[in-house]
Structure formats: C-alpha cells, structure tokens
Structure 1
Amino acid sequence: MSGPDRIVVGYTANESGADALALGARLAAATEALLEVVMVLPIEVRGGVIPPDTGYERYVKERSRTWLAEASATLDDDIAQQLHIRYAESFAEGLIEAAHEFAASFIVVGAARGGLLGRMRIGSVASALLHSSDVPVALAPAGAREVAPAQGVTRITAAIGTRAGSSAVLEASVRFARSAHAPLRLLSLVPIDLPSGMDEGLADLASSAHADEVLAEAQRSLPAGVDATVVTATGATIEESVRDLEWHAGEVVLVGSSRLATPHHLFLGSTAAKMLRELPVPVIVVPRTTTP
C-alpha cells in the first residue's frame, strides 16, 4: 500500500481504549503516520450461524460509530485519521486483519483494566496478539492518555541481548528512531541472562564483560550516521533492573517477541512478562521476522 505509514489502534470505549488511542496519536505525530482507529465487534452481532437481528445489528453499529466519533474528537486536528468498524471472531483477530489490510507498521492496544498507573497489565487481547500477530504490537500503559500527543517520542530504547531475535530488535529500533527523529539508546540485560549458581563475584565480572561486548557489537552493527547511547541494566532481578533505570516521559521501548523466539531467547515467557509489568513507558514488541 502506497502513501504514509499506517498505525492501527484497537479502540474500546473505556480507559484502556483511550490509552491506546493516545499512544497511537503520539506515534502518528512523531512519524507522520495515518491513524487507523478500529473497533472490532463480535461476529455474532451479524447473526453468526442464525438469522441476524437487523435491528440489534443496526443499534450496535450506530453506538459503535458514536463511540468512534467521540474518540476522534479528542485527537488534535493535525492527526490524520480514519475510523473503522470490523467484525471478527476475536478482537485480536480483527486487529490483525485490519493491520494486514492497511499494511500497518504497528497495532496499538491498551493495558488491561485494573493495572497500576503508568504500568503494563497484559490482558487477554494483548496476550492473544503477542502470540499470533506478525505485526509489531505497541502496548500502552495505564494512564498513557495523560501524555499529550505533542510529547511525541523523545527517546527509543532497544533491549538488546545475544540470543536469537536481537538483530531484528536493533533493526526495528533504528528504523523507528529515524522515522520518529528520536535518539536511540541500547539497553543490555545480559547480567540477568547468566546461569544460576555462579559465584557472585565471578558473575559480576563475567556479566560486566559480556554486557560491554554485547553493546559494542550492537554499536558496530549500526548503519552509518546512526548514533546511540548505551546502558547496562544492573540488579538481581528483572524488576529491580528495570526500576533502577532512568526513563523519559516520552520514551518507547522495543523488545523481541516471545512468539517467534527460539527456546533460548532472552525475552521469553516469564522474563518478558516481568519486564513489561515494571516498565513505566510504552513497549513495542517486535516479531523476530518483522520490523516496523
């Protein structure tokens, strides 16, 4: 599809939907992308395997259009946008289909309700996307709607490891940094990836050397003209390491996708979940074979 980049926002008429819309607007403002705001309705609304109730279908569709219009009215006039209603077996399926239709760079969804302000709580929709999407998924933390779209993207942090998938994260981060005109930071979580049972002193020495090697290799692989700062996360746990780092209000973090990673990938399973729960900024999860 020619024309500007596109960002699909999975909208729901609640705080989570407002957070997703706000993050989508920020990403669109930073990259001059077109915002495709999508509400996904259950396919049962159309009657499923039984004859449809046309009156009920019309009511639901009109109500959804009203919610979309109200959401659209909250966006700045300079945010190019289109509103859509889609039917699908699941919310995640409908968003993936829309992302394919629009050749979107990202799918944006909000945190599950009940999460702490500024933190990520992965709900059923985000979980389904992270296990089935071949399009990068951006996760908006609770309260993302409080950050003005004009804030844009002030820095992009790429979580870099040595396992499979790291090159895709780096490539995606470079591309995103260029399109958003934002500085790039390379983050190493190598100390947490050491075997258990190592002597603490030896582990510290090994992890420090390993982290330096990882970051140096990542810097060497950057395209000409792309500079990046580097930082190594330190701490006994993922949670501690993430909490101790400095984060900008307008920052976005890119991590590798657990869905396409090998069994030894750094950001797998519980490790990824712990990191996502502690991050106070939006996260974009990049499939290993797909870059934004």
Structure 2
Amino acid sequence: MTKTAVVTGASSGIGAATARRLAAEGFHVVAAARRRDRLDKLAAEAGAAEGGGPGVEPFMLDVTSQESVDALAAAVTRCDVLVNNAGGAIGMDPVAEGDVADWQRMYDVNVLGSLRVTRALLPKLIASGDGVLVMLTSTAGFIAYEGGGGYAAAKHGQTAMTETLRLELCGEPVRVVEVAPGMVKTEEFSVNRFGGDVERAEKVYAGVPDPLTADDVADAVVWCATRPSHVNIDRLVIRPRAQAAQHKVYRVADA
C-alpha cells in the first residue's frame, strides 16, 4: 500500500520542495496550505495523486483554524508521515518595541498550528504502525539573536514540543524528528518577514555565498523520514557552509 505523507505550508518554499521530494519517493502526498492556486500548480508539476497512489493531492488548510485542521483530519484516512512545516517570521523589532500582534501571529502559526495538526493526526500516525512526525523548526529554536525575539520564542516553543513528544511517545510506533535549518533563501520567507520589502529582505543574504535552498532542506527532511524504522534522527541541524553560527556568517563583501 502507498504510504501517505501530510505536509503543511506546502504552497511554497521548503513545504513545496518537501512535497515534491516525497512524491518522487513514491508517497501519496497531501500538500496542505491556504493558497489553492499554488497547490494546484505543485500537483501539476509533481504529478497529481490518483486513487490514493503516488503524487500530490492539494488540500486547503489554515493551521490557525481548528475547524480547518479538523477537516484535514477527517479527509485523511491514513497518515504515515507528518511534516509540520507551516510557520514563519514577522519583523525584526527588538523586544522593547515588539508588536504583540506579530508575536501572537508567530506563536499561533508556528507553535499552536503544529499542536493542532499533531493532535489531529497523531492517532493515524500511531495506527500506521510506523509513523514519522517531522517538526520543521529553526536554529532560532535554540539560539537567540538580536531582533529575533518573537521568532526565536516561537521556535523555542516548537523545539520544546518536539522534545516532549519524543518522551511521551516513547514505546509507540512513531518517530519524532526535528529538522532545524539555519540560513535558507527561499522566495518568500524574508520578504514576508519584512512586510513585502524586497530590498530589505535581500540584504539578509548580501554577500553570502550559496545560502541553503528549499531543496537542500527538503532533501534533509525526506532523508530523516525514510530511515529504517528502528532509526530515529532526533535533531538534524543544517546550515550553509558560510554560516558557522547564528551570528557568524561569512560574506564575500567582508573578505
């Protein structure tokens, strides 16, 4: 029987790349996100799933809505792999000037969104007999940096949830994996963070030779999810070679 993978935040970036990779590995991929047009395009590119077979099945999902998550759980009859990828950062304000609404939005999407989807699909992961739960976090989940207080707080919350799940599910047929990327350049992440300011977003990567791509991270996610069933990758940290730490990045302009 074809295994089913659910990927949230699958309309762009790491989520879309992960859906493509899983479909290429023979999974029936439920690509879940808010933008149906993007999902339909992804299914056309990666191959639309038919009759529960391999390929991509689009599904409209808002992880901040319990009703939407419940609809996903009702529609998915089987779940072997869950990739909690939906998330994002908003702003770079210092804590003293932090926008409460921005912090609430980041917490709701990154942390509570992952909680809603995990609670809804965990029974199916267990029922599969060999489930894999992948939490897409960030190096911001265990290292703080100036201007990243709200995002780091949310990603620390996701990391704590992942570690707790691994303890609570010990003995169940579910592996719990955290994939924590460093500097990744996708078409939307930094642009969204800076409210559509493309010039400011580009400055994040200025002079950095070869930041990670969405495909690099997707490759890591799929590798973790396809290890032998007795092998658990607790945490995989992936950075570009130019980034030694959150605050230590080589830039050509500085050489």
TM-score (normalizing by structure 2): 0.37
Of structures 1 and 2, the one scoring higher in RCO (CA 8 A, sep 6+) is 1
TM-score (normalizing by structure 1): 0.34
Larger Cα-atom Rg: 1
